[in-house]
C-alpha cells in the first residue's frame, strides 16, 4: 500500500486550484511575559515579534501553495492596512491575488493571537478577533464572480472554504457552484453552519464530526453513524463524495458508488489543533485536483492532519513530510521508497539538520558482515539510506543465477534492520546516479574498497560530505554462503 501511494504521489500532475471564501489575516504577537503591570493586575507582554499569515480560506491557499499547487484566490478584504498585510503575506507565498477584491467600508477580518514565548513553552494567552460578518456588496459580488469566471478555464478544482463571515452566503454560493459545474470544474467545500443546502451540486464536502451531525440531524460518534450521516448528505446534496473528518478517529469517506472507508489516525501526541482542518482540506483538494481517487486523497489528507496537530500554530506541510510518513508509517510494508519520493523526503530532513548516511550493495543473502557494516554506517549520522541494485543490474553484475532473492524480498529483509531508515533501488550498474539524488553527508563502503575508486566520492566531497571505509567482519560473504549451500545440496 505505502509504495503504491508513494508512486501515485510521484506521478500526480501539479493541479491549478482556485480557492474562494472568507479570507482572514492571522496575526501572532509574541514576546516575553516577565512582569506584572504597575497599573492593573495583568501581565505585561514584552513584544518581540509579530508574524502575519494568511488565515481562513487563505490558510488553505497557503497550504496548497506549500504543496506545490498553482493557487489563485477569490475573496474580499477591506481597503485597510490589514488588507494590505494579508495581500503581502499571500504574495510572499506566490499565491495569485488578482481576483481578490478590496471593498471600501469593509474591515479586513483579523484574528490576533497574543503568545507568551519565554523560557517556558509557547503559550497563547489571549485572542482578539476583528470580524466583518456581512455579505459583500452587490458590485463586489459581481467583481468576484467575473474574476472567478475568468479563472475557471484552466482550473482543476475549485475549493470553497466557508468560515461563516458572509462571502459564501446562500445565493452566491449556489451561483459559484453552478458556474463551476457548467465549466466542468469539480468543487470541494469545507462547509459551515447547519443548512448545507447551499452546497448542493458540489463534488465533495468535508464536514467535521459536529458539522456532519448538525447538518444530517444524525449522531456521529461511531464509524457506522458517520456512514449514515454521510449517506444522507450525499443523497440530499447530490454529491460525489463526503469526507467526514473525525479528529482523533481519522477520516470517513463515502462515495456515490457506495464505496466507504474509515481511515484511522495513528494515535500521536496532540499539541495544537489550530489549522489542522486547513491542512486536511488542502491535501484533499490537491489530490483530487491531481486526479487521485477519493480514498487515496483521504489517506494522504489524514496523514497531513496528523502531522499538523503535532506542531504549534497553523503550520504548512509539504509532500516530503507526507511521503516520509507514508514511507515510515506503521502501515508501511517495507522501507523501500521510490527515488523521487526519497529525494523529497531527504530534502525535508536535511533542512531539519539531519545528517544523511548512504551505502549500497546487492544485499542478496544477508549475513553478519552486512549487519555489522550497516550498524557502523548508521553511527556516522542521523539516518541511513541503503541503495540496492535492482534485479536486472544484480544479474548483470553477479551472473545468471543471481539474485537469489528478488528486489522486494531483499528490501524487506533490509527494512527489518533497525539501522536502516530507507531503502532505494537503482537500475544502473553503479550507484553514481542514486548518490547524486541522495546527496549523502557520509558515503560508507567496506574497507575492501580502499584501493579501488569509490564511486561517488568526488560528488559527495564536492558537496562538503565525506567517505568512510569500515573494516569488514572476517569470514562472511554471500558467495561463501551460496557455495556452502551448493556443497550441502550436492552431498545429500
Partner 1 sequence: MAAKARLPHWADLVARFKGRKVAVLGDMAVDCYVETRPDRLSREAPVMVLRYERRRYAAGCAANTVFNLRALGAQAVPVGILGKDEAGDALVEMFRAEGIPLRGIVRMGSTIVKVRVVSGDVSRPKQQVLRVDVEPEGGYGAAALASLRGRAVGLRGHEAVIVSDYGYGAATPEYAALLRATNPDARLSVDSRDRLLDYKEADLLTPNEAEAAALLRRRVESDAEAELAAREMRRRAGAKAVLLTRGNRGMVLFDGKAHALPIAGPSEIVDPTGAGDTVVAVATLARIAGADHLAAARLANFAAGVTVMKTGAACVTPAELLEAAARG
Contact footprint for partner 1 (CB under 8 A): 29, 31, 37-40, 42-47, 81, 110, 112, 114, 123-131, 272-274
Pairing of strands 70-78, 466-470: unpaired
CB 130, min distance to partner 1, A: 4
- Write out the three cell numbers for 487: 556443497
CB of 338 to partner 1, least distance (A): 37
The Cβ-side half-sphere exposure at 479, using a 13 Å CA radius, reads: 2
State which residue, 247 or 382, has the beta carbon closest to partner 1. 247
CB count in 10 Å sphere of residue 297: 26
Q: CB of residue 373 vs partner 1: minimum separation in angstroms?
A: 49
Cross-strand partners of 361: 388
Nearer to partner 1 by C-beta: 314 or 374? 314
Strands, E assignment, 88-140 = 96-103, 110-116, 123-130
Rg of the chain over CA atoms, in angstroms? Answer: 27
Length of the chain counted residue by residue: 492
Residue 223 or 271 having the CB closest to partner 1: 271
Q: Which is nearer to partner 1, 122 or 236 (CB)?
A: 122
Q: Could you give the CA distance from residue 144 to residue 136 in angstroms, rounded to a whole number?
A: 9
* 472-475: Cβ within 8 A, 24+ apart: 472/369, 472/372, 472/373, 472/446, 472/447, 472/448, 473/368, 473/369, 473/372
Catalytic annotation, pick one of 278, 364, 391, 421: 278
List strands edge to edge, sheet with 157-161: 96-103, 70-78, 16-21, 157-161, 187-190, 204-205, 241-245, 251-255, 260-263
Q: Which residues contact residue 71 at a Cβ distance below 8 angstroms, ignoring those fewer than 6 apart? A: 16, 17, 18, 19, 61, 64, 65, 93, 94, 95, 96
**Nearer Cβ to partner 1 (166/431):** 166
Give the β-pairing of 260-263 and 16-21: unpaired
Q: Which is nearer to partner 1, 273 or 483 (CB)?
A: 273
**CA angle, 355 then 360 then 362, to 5°:** 155
3-state secondary structure at position 13: coil
Q: Please, which residue, 49 or 197, has the CB nearer to partner 1? A: 49
CB of 143 to partner 1, least distance (A): 27
For the bound state, the minimum distance from the C-beta of residue 471 to partner 1, rounded and expressed in Å, comes to 54
CA quadruple 345, 379, 405, 403: dihedral sign: positive
Q: C-beta of 31: minimal distance to partner 1 in Å?
A: 7
> Does the annotation mark 4 as catalytic?
no
Rounded to a whole number of angstroms, the minimum distance from the CB of residue 313 to partner 1 is: 9
Name the residues annotated as catalytic: 278
Amino acid at each position: 500500500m505505502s509504495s503504491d501511494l508513494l508512486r501515485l504521489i510521484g506521478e500526480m500532475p501539479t493541479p491549478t486550484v482556485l480557492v474562494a471564501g472568507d479570507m482572514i489575516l492571522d496575526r501572532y504577537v509574541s514576546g516575553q511575559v516577565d512582569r506584572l503591570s504597575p497599573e492593573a493586575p495583568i501581565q505585561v507582554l514584552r513584544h518581540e515579534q509579530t508574524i502575519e499569515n494568511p488565515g481562513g480560506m487563505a490558510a488553505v491557499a497557503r497550504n496548497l501553495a506549500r504543496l506545490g499547487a498553482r493557487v489563485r484566490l477569490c475573496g474580499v478584504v477591506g481597503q485597510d492596512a490589514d488588507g494590505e498585510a494579508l495581500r503581502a503575506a499571500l504574495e510572499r507565498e506566490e499565491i495569485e491575488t488578482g481576483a481578490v477584491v478590496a471593498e471600501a467600508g469593509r474591515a479586513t477580518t483579523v484574528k490576533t493571537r497574543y503568545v507568551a514565548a519565554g523560557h517556558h513553552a509557547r503559550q497563547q494567552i489571549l485572542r482578539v478577533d476583528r470580524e466583518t460578518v456581512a455579505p459583500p456588496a452587490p458590485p463586489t459580488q459581481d467583481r468576484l464572480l467575473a474574476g472567478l469566471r475568468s479563472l475557471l478555464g484552466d482550473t482543476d478544482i475549485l475549493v470553497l472554504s466557508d468560515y461563516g463571515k458572509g462571502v459564501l452566503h446562500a445565493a452566491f454560493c449556489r451561483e459559484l457552484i453552478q458556474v463551476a459545474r457548467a465549466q466542468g470544474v469539480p468543487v470541494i467545500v469545507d462547509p459551515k453552519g447547519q443548512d448545507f443546502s447551499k452546497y448542493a451540486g458540489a463534488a465533495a464536502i468535508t464536514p467535521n464530526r459536529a458539522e456532519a451531525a448538525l447538518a444530517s440531524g444524525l449522531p456521529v460518534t461511531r464509524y457506522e453513524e458517520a456512514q449514515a450521516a454521510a449517506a444522507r448528505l450525499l443523497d440530499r446534496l447530490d454529491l460525489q463524495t463526503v469526507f467526514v473528518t473525525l479528529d482523533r478517529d481519522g477520516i470517513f469517506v463515502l462515495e456515490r458508488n457506495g464505496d466507504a472507508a474509515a481511515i484511522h489516525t495513528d494515535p500521536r501526541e496532540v499539541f495544537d489543533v489550530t489549522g489542522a482542518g486547513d491542512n486536511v482540506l488542502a491535501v484533499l483538494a490537491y489530490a483530487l485536483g491531481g486526479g487521485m481517487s477519493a480514498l487515496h486523497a483521504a489517506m494522504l489528507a489524514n496523514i497531513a492532519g496528523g502531522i499538523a496537530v503535532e506542531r504549534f500554530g497553523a503550520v504548512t506541510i509539504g509532500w516530503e513530510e507526507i511521503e516520509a510518513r507514508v514511507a515510515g508509517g506503521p502501515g508501511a510494508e517495507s522501507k523501500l521508497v521510490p527515488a523521487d519520493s526519497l529525494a523529497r523526503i531527504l530534502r525535508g530532513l536535511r533542512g531539519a539538520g539531519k545528517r544523511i548516511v548512504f551505502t549500497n550493495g546487492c544485499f542478496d543473502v544477508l549475513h553478519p558482515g552486512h549487519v555489522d557494516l550497516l550498524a557502523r554506517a548508521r553511527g556516522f549520522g542521523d539516518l541511513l539510506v541503503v541503495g540496492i541494485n535492482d534485479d536486472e543490474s544484480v544479474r548483470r553484475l553477479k551472473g545468471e543465477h543471481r539474485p537469489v532473492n528478488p528486489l522486494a524480498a531483499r528490501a524487506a529483509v533490509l527494512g527489518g534492520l533497525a539501522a536502516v531508515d530507507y531503502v532505494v533501488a537503482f537500475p544502473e550498474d553503479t550507484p553514481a546516479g542514486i548518490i547524486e539524488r541522495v546527496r549523502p553527508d557520509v558515503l560508507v563502503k567496506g574497507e575492501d574498497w580502499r584501493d579501488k575508486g569509490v564511486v561517488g566520492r568526488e560528488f559527495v566531497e564536492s558537496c562538503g560530505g565525506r567517505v568512510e571505509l569500515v573494516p569488514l567482519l572476517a569470514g562472511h560473504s554471500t558467495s561463501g554462503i551460496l557455495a556452502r549451500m551448493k556443497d550441502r545440496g550436492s552431498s545429500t
